[in-house]
Amino acid sequence: MDGRGLPVSAFVTSARDAEVNTIETLVDICVTGKRPQRLLYDKAADADWLRTSLAARGIELISPHRRGRTRKKLQDGRPLRRYRHRWIVERTIAWLGNFRRLVTRHEFYPELFEGFLHLGCLLIVLRTFCN
């Protein structure tokens, strides 16, 4: 999502795949063609290898550290001030929840579900620009 909460990339994976392993792919398939400067994510993305990988691409990962972290923290509190804008991401996820086909997965084939996901993202973007 961009700063206004508009979806810029989306894809579907298996439910058993960890989210932290799919973040790099999500950044690579960005529709707009330009990569974001910052990436807000929840505690699921607290992985040192992900932080260094995104930093090599010029993306700052803003994610709070997990409570039981044993290694030294790589991020102080200053970038985490931007984390209070996470509600914009949650709002966009709620907008996607307004589409019944995305709330309960009725499709057997993941390609169909991904098509409906992209259609929902397109409708959100069009609704924003047409109003």
For 12-58, how does the pLDDT look when each residue is reduced to its tens digit (9 = 90+)? 777 777 777 777 777 777 766 677 778 877 777 778 888 888 888 88
Kindly state the tokens that stand for 109: 């084939």
Q: What is the DSSP string of 51-97?
A: HHHHHHTT-EEE-PPPTT--SPPS--TTGGGGGGGGHHHHHHHHHHT
CATH ID of 19-130, from 2.60.40, 3.30.420, 1.20.120, 3.30.160? 3.30.420
For residues 6 and 92, the answer to whether their CB atoms sit within 8 Å is yes
Q: 79-128, pLDDT tens digit by residue?
A: 666 777 778 878 888 888 888 888 877 788 888 888 888 888 888 888 87
**What whole-number distance in Å separates Cα of residue 85 and Cα of residue 21?**
24
pLDDT for the residue 101: 82
pLDDT in tens, 62-84: 887 677 766 666 666 666 667 77
Name the token pair of 64. Answer: 């709070």
- Do residues 8 and 124 touch, judged by C-beta distance below 8 A? no
In residues, how long is the chain?
A: 131
Is the separation of the CB atoms in 107 and 113 below 8 Å? yes
Tens of pLDDT, residue by residue over 33-43, are 677 778 877 77
Confidence of residue 1 (pLDDT cuts 50, 70, 90): low
Report pLDDT for 72.
Answer: 64
